[in-house]
Chains A and B, each alone.
Chain A
Amino acid sequence: MIFNIFKKELVDTLRDKRSVRMMVIIPLLVFPVMLNLFIFSSKKIEENQAEKIMHIGLIRGNSNFLTAKLKQLSNHKEKQLLFYKDSLQLIKALNTKKIQVALVLEKKFETKLKAFQPARVNLISNDTELGFSERMNSDLAQIEQQLKKERFQQLNINETTIQPLDIKATNIASTKEMIGKLAGGFLPYIFITFGFMGCMYPAIDLFTGEKERGTLETLLTVPVARWRLLVGKLLVIVVAGLISATCGFLGLFLEIEVFGFTAEPEIATLIHSILSFKFILTLYLLLIPLIVFIAGLLVPIAIYAKSFKEAQSMIAPLNFVIIVPVIIGFLPGIEYNWVTASIPIINIVLATKELIAGTLTIGLMAWSFLVMLSFAALAVLFSYKQFDKENAIL
């Protein structure tokens, strides 16, 4: 009987354009569209910035040592030097975007340089114009490097003598571990965000929607136990959440594989090595109770709400409540141990990070799974209590 209910509700849900849009189309397209747009626009901005001539305003820069050095740089054609007498004029030029950066040299600039003292250069910029202060800093760094070398030669100092420590850092963590620990929380984030989105519309449609359309009353007169009706509907919500989350993953996979999000072959090979059958299976094993938990939280709200709008407005804050533990799981320094493995949602985020890093221990994973499963069972039980309430149901 549960299968009959599940089958009918699934057909009904898959024929609802709004649910399909939220369940399949948006999760599938969001990454390819968003990331490609991001890559395209940042590339375009970078190109535009590189092509733009940088106008540099200088005070006390006429026939100066620094001016000469700037003109000697290989990229000197991409910049134009403009000389000012006072800082008021200089600031005005910056504000009117006549110049993008300004260099104010101290009065004894050249004297200090010659005396082997640090000579001050004030770099003033209007950073609402992206990229220019970075370009200027890079040029100044090049000039400083040259000056250092010249000073070492003039003072007859071997550069190594002023470097007392020769530090050689070795990171014994593999790239896989690094990705797992630092970016591993991203996968459950995708799963939970899209899973929630996928569950939301079917949950509202199958409970609040049925109430609004007057079909629930008829359904309650059929000789089928109320828990069976609930389980049949709940399964559809879980499947919708899983489809949505899977589409989110597929979208990301599509972005990496087809659109070549990462140009680094090492990273691409690493992603391929992570995405094994065993990995996907374990990931779903961890995430399925989480989706059941989400569905179990959504259903009582959908039962309680009297209209689609009311349900939507009540569910929106829940989204935030669920995302907060995901973000906590993201934070560096939050370790996966028996305490964090006992906190729902956070435990799944941390377990996924460990899974990607290849450091997941079976004991902690089993405990996290059991904890999440228990919370999912409680949420379903709460849904049943709400579905059985005469006051709420009609």
Chain B
Amino acid sequence: MVTISSEPLSAPLNVGFDYTRSLGPVLGRFATGLRGHTIAGVRGSDGRVLVPPAEYDPVTAEKLTEFVDVGTEGVVQTWSWNAQPLDGQPLSHAFAWALVKLDGADTGLLHAVDAGSPDKMSTGMRVRVRWAAEPVGSIRDIECFEPLDAEPVERQPVVGDDVTMLTTPIHLRYDHTASPEESRYLRGLAEGKLLGQRCPACDKVYIPPRGSCPTDGVPTEDEVELPDHGVVTTFCVVNVPFLGQRIKPPYVAAYILLDGADIPFLHLVLGCDAAEVRMGMRVRAQWRPRDQWGTTLENIDHFEPSGEPDAPYESYAQHL
């Protein structure tokens, strides 16, 4: 047994994606209007003017087609005070969330009101649109609403081709925690050790170890230190270049089954011609210099052929 702290490892995990969506005729018309400083609503089945416009009636699901332009001033129907705005919200200083019923509309539009303080907010107060500096055809073309006594900000509309697409960047932050078993494995790597764990029910050795044996549903407990050599069970030759690729193709990504393990993991096989790699080939880890080690499998730069005779197919057939 290796003595390693059992406190789980954690690290910031930031994920992001620019969601790009087509708008269709109703939302496209609304977005195009916003860019040009007009606000389109649509008449619902019950005669109400819905803003923002709905493609289908919220109650009857009837397709809606009668557009109605509404005003750029309106009245606050309800509000809440946002003292500490979060990333991405319309304003970076304190503001009110509000449902604003624009003149000529029958429903409230959710947006921000830049009132300065909660005592300047009241239900029934009148507000007007403050347009964004650079309109693109998005709900964010309304920078926010503001009380009528605010100093107006001069902003120019944009005229052009119809807006048909919308891109919404989404960025979310997490504190990602490895399981206790994964943490022992990662700390082992930092010391140059490959630590797996044996399932108490089926005796299979997992590396990385799992919080629960996927076959038996019980935590893996007994630690097993594995050697840094094993066998290629299966592999593929990467010929296609892609964004972020760190090695010039062709190269080999392979499943490596360490001697004594029951599950292979994915790694690189270098140090020979890609065409020489084969199922059953014996390989050995090539570690990076010790001063570059961290809590990561990247401490092993790649695997290389060890020159030993190939393993017979039967020896790894159950691990494909």
Q: Do A and B bind each other?
A: no
